[in-house]
Each structure stands twice: as structure tokens, then as C-alpha cells.
Amino acid sequence: MPDISHHEMIESNRSLLSAWLADPNYTYDDFRSIFVDWLKQFPIPEGTIFSDVDASGVSCIWAINDDTDNTRVVIHFHSGGYLMGTAASYQSFGGLLARATGARVLLVDYRLAPENAPPAALEDALIVYKWLLAQGYSASNIALCGDSAGGGLALILAQQARLSGLPLPGCTVAISPVADFTASSESRSTNAGIDPLVTAEMLEMMASAYCGDRDRKDPTLSPLFGDWRGLPPLLVLAGEIEVFRDEGKLCVDAAVRAGVDATFRMGANMVHIYPVYADRLPEAREALEEIGSFVRTHTGGASA
């Protein structure tokens, strides 16, 4: 489709926020329907084949292209604050990710809160990772990836895989990760008035629904406070004007201090999870190309 302007990207985000705030009596199911409807603006790439798969009881969707290297896998965890989103609603980005990385992409339908309290999402993530290993995939040929809450989940999975003694994946990519439920990073306040997608009140509602009365510094909720030692290469991307920007940077800083090969990339004037606009925004395409190159490099893939 034709490229859009920076202003149009901002307005797209504002339209989602406006829809969420339209009725104070909305239920979680209402929020979920609005989010899935918003994601329908992103077309499914031509040439991508999707198939459902049961990964030891966790529903997932494979995204595969004609030139896919079937020995390599990207596990992708969708956004939605741990409360919303589905694997099916992320087929557009899954197809783009498969094309950029040259790998099979596994979109995961992890369990959502508040119906499923933590650590349900992490348990599902671990099940899927172990299932791939049992299918014969080499851990070094697997990349963990996610955006927003899914980005946080990818980081948590990498940490927990090491703590559990599992073979480590080749790399991790976190796009605008939700990594600190204490909301203590500077951009949570400095960008609160300019981020077009969220409000502080909405973020606290979502955090309360997910965390409940749990310690918000628990690394299985907030990976920023986790153990970064011995983890595989890490790429974190975030938009300049989003509230989650600095916690992504703080994760990279913590990883580097622990000796991890970690990179933070900030998209100038970009919004939360901006790479999902890769079909229509040049800056998002550049970000997706960097993700593709990073994953290929660290999972043994050929250059695009």
C-alpha cells in the first residue's frame, strides 16, 4: 500500500486510544474486540502461508514464505498488555517478520489476564519453547521476539530459560517492551502527554489487572529486574515518543553490564510498536530490516 506520513501514524494510534476510551463501562472483551479490529488495518502479506499448530496444548500459528529456511524459527509473542491480542490478529506482522528473517515464524496464543493470572503467559511461553526443542529445532536456530507486553514476555522467557537450565536461543528481539511494572523510568512521565496510544490511567488499569497484588519488581513480571547474565544477543527497539522508551533502554544497559551483546535502537519521532507499520512507513521498514539482519546473523541464516 502507499506509504503514510508520520502524522498519519500518530492519528492511527490516537484512533485506537479514542476507541478504548469511548465508554467507561467497557469490559475486557470490549477492549479486546477494539484492539483486534484496529489490527485489521494491516494487510496480510502476499505469499505467506499460515497453518494452525498445537504446541503441547498451546495454540499457535505458523507463518511461512516460499523461501523460508525451515531449520530456523522466530517465536513471536503479540502485544496487548497481557490482556488483549491473538495470534490470528498478528498474521500481518508475522508474515512481514517471516520475510525479513527468512525463518519460520511461530505466533503464540498465550493465555491472557485477568482470567489467567501470572505466570500463565510465561508457562505457555516455556511450553512452546520446549516443544520446539522436542521437535528437533536447535536452540541456536531459534529467536525469541515480541512487541509491547510480548516483548517483555520474550525477555522473561530468555531469562527463565537460562535459570531453568534450558539450551539458550540464538537471540532475542524486544520491540517496545513492557519491562517495568513499577513504571519508574523517566519516559513514563516525560512522554505521558505526547504518547498518542496510552494514558497513565489506562496503563495503571492494565498493570493492576495483570499484576494483581504481586510484587511488581518480580522478574517474571518485570524483566528489567531480572538476571541478565549469560543471555544471548539482544536487540531492543522503541519509539522516541512512547512511554515505554526508557525501560527498553534500561534493559539494554542492564544486559550490557552483565556482559551481554545488547543493542538499543530508538526510532526518532516514532510511536509504540512502530515496526508493525512496516508495510507503509519507511522508518518501520528500516526497523524490520534491522530485525531481519539481526536474527539472520544470530540464528545462522544467510544474508537477505
Is-contact 61 86, C-beta < 8 A? no
242 among known catalytic residues? yes
Cell digits of residue 90 = 498478528
- Provide φ and ψ at 12, rounded to 5°: -60, -45
- The catalytic position among 78, 79, 176, 242 is 242
148 among known catalytic residues? yes
Is-contact 107 303, C-beta < 8 A? no
Alpha carbons 291 and 146: distance in angstroms, whole number: 11
Rg of the Cα atoms in the chain? 17
Alpha carbons 216 and 258: distance in angstroms, whole number: 22
- The catalytic position among 12, 59, 148, 176 is 148
- Provide φ and ψ at 91, rounded to 5°: -65, -35
Q: Tell me the three state secondary structure of residue 35.
A: helix
- Provide φ and ψ at 157, rounded to 5°: -60, -40
78 among known catalytic residues? no
Surface-to-core class of residue 161, CB atoms within 10 Å of its CB (0-12 exposed, 13-18 middle, 19+ buried): buried
* CA 156 to mean position of chain CA atoms: 11
Question: Minimal CA–CA distance to 47: which of 2, 78, 106, 91?
Answer: 91
Alpha carbons 170 and 73: distance in angstroms, whole number: 10
113 secondary structure, DSSP code: T
- The catalytic position among 187, 272, 283, 298 is 272
212: left (phi over 0), alpha (psi -120 to 50) or beta: left
Catalytic residues: 148, 242, 272
